[in-house]
């Protein structure tokens, strides 16, 4: 979790002008194993450009730091809340499941959380590096 927060903070500190990420496709990210073959991310909003992906990573970081209870007064559901609701809809409720092996359920979800955090960390690092490359290319064009 600390690795993701550090990567997201680095991303936030590096990206001084997030609007430069608008309309920059994600498919040019090298080594991003989280991308599907159809260039869609496995997130509900299916980000189409780097700007939307930046906003998603920043939102996840804020929710991890401040928790689900601290939201904007706008009242919209957060990314994590939508994911939890989607998970609850997919898992059938039953009294036997509530008392089932809680330790194995805990380890299963913990492994999943670590896997997701690892992918999010890689994505934040990739986004930061890609922004640096884009800015470098932009500065070279303006210097000539």
Neighbours of 68 (CB within 10 A): 11
pLDDT at 84: 63
pLDDT at 53: 92
pLDDT at 36: 40
DSSP single-letter state for residue 34: T
pLDDT, tens digit (0-9, with 9 covering 90-100), for 66-112: 875 555 444 555 565 666 666 666 655 555 555 668 999 999 999 99
Instruction: Please tell me the distance from the alpha carbon of residue 58 to that of residue 12, in angstroms, as a whole number.
Output: 7
Alpha-carbon 142 to chain mean position: 32
pTM exceeds cut of 0.75: no
pLDDT at 3: 95
């Amino acid at each position: 979790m600390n690795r993701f927060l550090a990567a997201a903070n680095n991303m936030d500190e590096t990206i001084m002008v997030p609007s430069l990420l608008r309309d920059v496709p994600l498919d040019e990210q090298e080594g991003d194993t989280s991308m599907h073959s159809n260039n869609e991310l496995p997130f509900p909003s299916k980000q189409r450009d780097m700007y939307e992906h930046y906003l998603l990573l920043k939102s996840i970081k804020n929710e991890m730091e401040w928790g689900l209870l601290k939201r904007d007064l706008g009242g919209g559901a957060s990314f994590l809340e939508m994911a939890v609701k989607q998970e609850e809809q997919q898992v059938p409720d039953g009294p036997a499941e509530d008392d089932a092996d809680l330790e194995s359920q805990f380890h299963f979800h913990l492994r999943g959380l670590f896997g997701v955090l690892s992918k999010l960390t890689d994505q934040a690092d990739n986004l930061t590096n890609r922004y640096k490359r884009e800015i470098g290319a932009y500065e070279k064009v303006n210097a000539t």
